[in-house]
Amino acid sequence: MKFDLDSGLFSGVTNQPSPNCDARPLGEVIDLLVIHAISLPPGQFGGPYISDLFCNRLDGAAHPYFAEIHQMEVSAHLLVRRQGEVIQYVPLQLRAWHAGKSVFQGREGCNRFSIGIELEGCDDVPFEPVQYQVLVQLCREIMRAYPAITPDRIVGHSDIAPGRKTDPGPYFDWSHFRQLLAEAVA
């Protein structure tokens, strides 16, 4: 996987463009990376539903939970599936709609200055080893392209929306991730 700064896209990944994005404010520096977790329906993995949600084609009748969320306009830049497949929804230079109401170091509206990576997962299931490996590869490429993103500026959704969000959740091994990242960027 290589990142092209001009297009904002990764090579070697599936590209499913989401309409749920827009231009970042002029002069905004991308200096934060937010790790999320998502499963649709909750606690279930596989299937097209995450992409359907991010691309505004989720059928509200396909599952009772979808009736609540199918009209939401949300996205992420990237998704890492359980088997390590990567799907890109939004070019990195654009603002994906992933963080919602959020604040980092006193700055509100984290979508303006962040990149959002979803991991297919939930609060009560460990993530797969391959997901950590792929996440580290993505982070290494992103940090090269956007040097203002340093290891201490990689956070969970729960860190920027405490009390509102819990992801990536207690089964995301931050220590393991940070060790792999340190080795990859050394």
Domain extents for the chain? 3-185
Q: How far apart are CA 73 and CA 54, in angstroms?
A: 7
pLDDT in the model for residue 28: 96
Model pLDDT, residue 55: 98
Are 21 and 97 in contact, with CB atoms under 8 Å apart? yes
Classify 3-185 by CATH class: alpha beta
Query: How far apart are alpha carbons 59 and 75 in whole angstroms?
Result: 16
Question: What pLDDT is attached to residue 186?
Answer: 85
Q: What does the alpha-carbon distance between residue 90 and residue 97 come to, in Å, rounded to a whole number?
A: 9
**Nearest alpha carbon to residue 142 among 150, 152, 132:** 150
pLDDT along the chain (186 residues), means of 10: 96 98 97 98 97 98 97 98 98 98 97 98 97 98 98 98 96 98 94
Contact between residue 118 and residue 50 where contact means Cβ atoms under 8 Å apart: yes
User: pTM for the whole thing?
Assistant: 0.97
Say what the pLDDT of residue 149 is: 98
Annotated catalytic residue 118: yes
The catalytic position among 28, 118, 128, 183 is: 118
